[in-house]
Structure 1
């Protein structure tokens, strides 16, 4: 009996090891970040499409908060959530100023796994870095100078955006004048406490989104103790019609001149939606492999694995529709961590198909 149990256990361990090696073979190595780090704005073909006529100014607002409350954990604005909209606005003919509650150089969060050409180009962009190092104190900002404002995400925004009188005044003035207000991820915290002249909350009965409770609590289980509130709760309590999408996938809510994105994966579409809201057709942009992967994942969430598999095959038959297999694997791991075993196995199947298509 003991030998039989030992044989079964050994076979199980070998099966697990073999599965692990197989899964590892499906995940490509990370990008060459050393090479990517050399990217300059001049290397981005996208920016060469900038129209000759200047279309006015957009203000990007980032947090000045460097620590998550009393936790001692560092925070700041998310680099990718500033760099990508910055270049969307620039490529579409707008000048961009950068402001923060305290002014000066704001704290930043850089996730190397998320970094791409636009993000490294931003770090090497002398003009952008000059604006960033000397960000305008928000109390010195005049709303009349801007056609739109974009509130950049980053967990620090939860602390210094909602109750800042200068931010409230800026948003109220822009909204009253019919200008465009955008925000992504934790950026919508700037909208949660804005009261209009009639005494109603700005977001009351407005369709908005932002980083959801589900997303926050998965990443930080003790978020309710660390943050003064959860963003979804705060927006709902202010009367918003909160529109959550699937966790860690793109979602953009548009309610007139108010445009909000749920999380970092919503950054590109919310910035381009702002360009449309300002009356222009966004210039063409090469869709990234990560965005293609998010489309496949959304198809899976909405229509199941069969349709997602067909979508994946269609994409990979086009050279311009590359897939980020590392991101697909990450979502499979997250599903497993959340106990969604069926979903995790489905995503592994999609991952295997993606590897097979790329090898053909």
Structure 2
């Protein structure tokens, strides 16, 4: 009896020790992140606050069409969806800053559903919410059946899981893509946006995607967050792009990655939006207007070096950026990638990225 009691006693002590250790680690981990009081309130950002948009305004060069989903639910589930605001807002302002007027369309027209993830929002995204003209266009979208492709120099398909349901079979979208592509205009699509390309057949009778390098939201990215995605979506985007003859370019999960085949530019995920939109501008034949790189983009650069060359090189780059060049660094994103590693069961990588997050805090001057 006493032996059983001792075993029970030590089991309880061990359990409490584990709980206490997890609590201490969690407290330490949370302290690696910027505190709310030390973060600038970007929710009130206006276009006039952003020099990229308000200074040295370029004369108009033409128009670009952005297309977003009209789908509010994922298939037969009660899971809400829509277009990703960050993917529309960032592309919208790259196009605008570089001299293009932007129209917004959707399969049904009117006000489409939107996904706003507060954790991913930055100054440009809140500026979009505070921009009366941008909001009018976003809430009064043009039905794609009414779009005249001849009016536009390029078309951009924003992502959002809803695109998987109402982009692929839409004949008006297929016609827009085909006409613009065959007129040597620029086609761009990011994250789930490339779902618009999967059923496009050119006048040659061949699929648009055949033998072309292409990127989009990967199977691994999809299934990590939605384990039953195969049952919810009509297809997994990576599989379908490959089935259409595309040569799928798979980059690191949740990091910037784009593919370009002449006037066809595609991006893997939301973090690819800036580069994709700017690549569209250069493909149109224009030099890019200078834009200060965001703190999130700097974190992405560090994470890409980490994935390719390890923690030591990532720290070297981070020190150069933050301590020497005084560039902003969004260390929350680095911490998130640590959590992703833990979700994948990569515990060593998790602790390595926690260490990288800690290093980022130690060299930061603002926190």
Please say if residues 192 and 234 of structure 1, whose CA atoms lie closer than 8 Å, have aligned partners that are also in contact: yes
* Residue equivalent to 1:284: 290
CA distance in 1, matches of 2:319, 2:126: 31
Classify the secondary structure of the residue corresponding to 2:364: helix
Q: State the Cα distance separating 1:115 from its structure 2 match.
A: 1.2
Give the aligned length: 360
Which stretch of structure 1 is more off in the superposition, 330-339 or 38-47? 38-47
Cα 1:266/1:7, change in 2 over 3 Å: same
C-alpha RMSD over aligned residues:
1.9
Please say if residues 68 and 156 of structure 1, whose CA atoms lie closer than 8 Å, have aligned partners that are also in contact: yes
* Residue equivalent to 1:354: 360
Cα 1:10/1:74, change in 2 over 3 Å: closer
Cα 1:225/1:50, change in 2 over 3 Å: farther
User: Which of 145, 158, 175 lines up with 2:151 in the alignment?
Assistant: 145
CA distance in 2, matches of 1:11, 1:261: 46
* Residue equivalent to 2:30: 24
* Residue equivalent to 2:306: 300
CA distance in 2, matches of 1:141, 1:330: 40
Q: State the Cα distance separating 1:216 from its structure 2 match.
A: 0.4
Q: Deviations over 1:12-35 (max 9, x none)?
A: 444333322222221122488994
CA distance in 2, matches of 1:224, 1:32: 42
Cα 1:314/1:123, change in 2 over 3 Å: same
Alignment of structure 1 residues 271-350 onto 2, 5 Å = 271-318=277-324, 320-350=326-356
Q: Does 1:165 align with 2:171?
A: yes
CA distance in 2, matches of 1:276, 1:106: 29
Please say if residues 207 and 253 of structure 1, whose CA atoms lie closer than 8 Å, have aligned partners that are also in contact: yes
Q: State the Cα distance separating 1:238 from its structure 2 match.
A: 0.2
User: Which of 146, 157, 162 lines up with 1:156 in the alignment?
Assistant: 162
Please say if residues 58 and 98 of structure 2, whose CA atoms lie closer than 8 Å, have aligned partners that are also in contact: no
CA distance in 1, matches of 2:314, 2:37: 25
Which stretch of structure 1 is more off in the superposition, 304-313 or 179-188? 304-313
Classify the secondary structure of the residue corresponding to 1:171: helix
CA distance in 1, matches of 2:92, 2:355: 37
Which stretch of structure 1 is more off in the superposition, 350-359 or 43-52? 43-52
Structure 1: segments with no counterpart, 5+ residues: none
Q: State the Cα distance separating 1:101 from its structure 2 match.
A: 0.7
Q: Deviations over 1:281-310 (max 9, x none)?
A: 111111111111111111111111111111
TM-score, length of structure 1 as denominator length: 0.95
TM-score, length of structure 2 as denominator length: 0.93
Please say if residues 58 and 97 of structure 2, whose CA atoms lie closer than 8 Å, have aligned partners that are also in contact: no
Please say if residues 47 and 54 of structure 2, whose CA atoms lie closer than 8 Å, have aligned partners that are also in contact: no
CA distance in 1, matches of 2:266, 2:358: 34
* Residue equivalent to 1:53: 59
Q: State the Cα distance separating 1:334 from its structure 2 match.
A: 1.1
